[in-house]
Structure 1
Amino acid sequence: MNKIADRQPTDWGAAAMQRRIRRRYAAERRFRLLGLAAVSLSGAFLAFLLWTMMSNGIAGFSRTEIRLPLDFPAIALDVEPAQLGRAGADLALAGAGLQNAVGAAAVQAFGEDGERVIAESAWVSVREAIKRDPDMLSRRTTITVPASADVHEASTDDAGAEAEAMVAALERGGALTSGFNWTFLAGADSTDPSGAGIWGALKGSLLTMAVTLGLAFPIGVLSAIYLEEYAPRNRWTDLIEVSINNLAAVPSIIFGLLGLAVFLGTFNMPRSAPVVGGLTLALMIMPVIVIAGRNAIKAVPPSIRDAALGVGASRVQVVFHHVLPLALPGILTGTIIGMARALGETAPLLMIGMRAFIATPPEDLTDAATVLPVQIFLWSDQVSRGFVEKTSAAIIVLLIFLLAMNALAIYLRNRFETRW
């Protein structure tokens, strides 16, 4: 009792106590500054990335065009207007020498360097214009065609004196125009950067993601429900849990090798098809969905199950009427993570052949296709300045696609979220 009585209350005004308090506050300030510095550094890297992509990619959404005069009666293409209404119109125009005629018209209009002014795919624009209006074969007309990469670069950025003089001459003649590059959004891959587009790769990504989500989501959720609600606790279920956790950390290229061996080598499925890419990516993200689903189901309070069972609900009714709706936000979070990973993958898709040159967008799940990340990878390997712009522009589209997909998933998650 005497020892307790002899104890004095804490002397907050003592010099030793004040030093300890100052050190404690100083440590807290340093920690707060370190956290602020980390967030600022992360924001700076993100801003630099976005600025780099935007500065290089904005030019990919613009298109420099040339107003090309064409005298079709003088050209005298060996094609009948009746042929243009049939399925072989493209072959008929190509066989009639349209490409050479367009080059000759450019030389006549712009001098000896006329063919350097227009893009390699300029004759394709003329072909499409003829198919829309076959009557122009009987008159003189002016058709807007894409400019060459040199002219486009000189009109949007600094270039050599020769290219700048060429652009100045075109501007004086009123032959040079510019506008939004709809071909980039509506076209497919091409060897000419002015005619290259991302719709083929974007459609391939949509089809591949549809197969991935259609397989991985229901199978992953049902697996999580079984493992958490029905599976007995023994060594086999422990082995399955360990295997699922290990599969979530396996490098993606291993799943590409698995898809190559199983889907292409064993089942002889079509190479480069979205269905094969979707199956391969579904195997890759399914462990992520299973793990997230189990954690979400486990987080549902046991009282929910007990209350439902107490009023006579069956086990299936408890799971699907009460547990699953409450766990759905967490399950959707795992699905967002898995789908975002699948959307940006290239390695497994390269292994199953989805790196081919695809000049026509796929029509169904078995057609040859590529996806946006692979298309970006292929364009980044090109040396032309035009493909550098297209690569950055395609990255912007991929980020927009990813943000839109995540926004939809977050909306659904918040829609079904229950606050306790």
Structure 2
Amino acid sequence: MTTPRSWLAGADDSPFGVHNLPYGVFTAADRPGVRRIGVRIGESVLDAGAAARAVGEPSVLLDADTLNPLLAAGRPVWTEVRTALTRWLTDESHRAALSPLLLPLAEVELHLPFEVADYVDFYASEHHATNLGRIFRPGSEPLTPNWKHLPIGYHGRAGTVVVSGTPVIRPQGQRKAPTDAVPSFGPTRRLDIEAEVGFVVGAPSVLGTPVTLDRFREHVFGVCLVNDWSARDIQAWEYVPLGPFLGKSFATSVSPWIVPLDALEQARVTPPARDVEPLPYLDDRGGEPWGLDLALEVRLNGHPVSRPPFASMYWTAAQQLTHMTVNGASLRTGDFFASGTISGPEPETRGALIELTWNGEEPLKLPDGTTRTFLEDGDEVTITATAPGPDGTVVGFGEVTGRVTP
């Protein structure tokens, strides 16, 4: 396979070349307040709807102010649109018409690229789940008995999924330390991050009809980065017996670019060996593997503190989608599900502060001489990621950033 070359200078050497072409939604000074679908190419954003009109091709799905109409159109249309975009950006005959429609990335404002229907968060890293088990249940088996039999998850709050750059207001709630006789109320003292990868559902499914493993590609449009902020003290007091609630629902940050699933073919890998045989509906050993070789980096106030490897995840996104619908629950366009915290086997690959600091017992030392157990007001967290692309290229995901405010 030979990746086509773009007529846009510098694009071929970028993680956002024609091998990637992620989708987003932007506004710019030339049309203030008007949200448009954009496609990132190099350090520019192509006004996708205007580009379609300029080359004389159908533009209705690209003229929307959100990605949802394109998401709903289904995989054959996704492939057709991606093929067209690649052709427009590699055919020299389109340079004159499209060059004026390329806006510098630094001059646009990026928005949440799709309307979130439902949000589900999983708990799919064996290393993360094992670390938390050792922290909270020392001397006992770290994994719960069900963990290797099904992808554990919870339903989150779709209305608080926010785009990168949105301030994260420190949440308030009930807290109760083990030594306290009764709970108190106030701002969380244990604000944490969770480095995750998210999956955007396009084509819906029929109520009562599970989505099998082999239909993953039919329904999932693309991939982005996620920071599922967590108030650990609020979470610890409330989660028994029904699970996460206010400790999670205040904010979930996502990156503004949705990388198409088709851009990640070279990143696909076999997931780690499983020592418990999955039930048939989750058994992916005879089909397409949907492990993904994504390399993440977490920075706290500009300083790298972790490099979580997504390839180490025990449960794949395909298994998560199948389990999410096996009871007959239907998918809607704009459904969004996240992997859960990504952690590897080494301390420097842990994707949450609760692991990196071992529940506050081993504070992180930052270059400015300060230390952190959990996040302080003013702290800024940025998560980035890359994946291998065709012909030695690199697929970029951009970043998801959030700053804590009082």
Q: Which structure has the greater CA radius of gyration? A: 1
Which structure has the higher relative contact order (CA within 8 Å, separation 6+)? Answer: 2
TM-score (ref. length: structure 1): 0.24
Structure having the higher strand fraction is 2
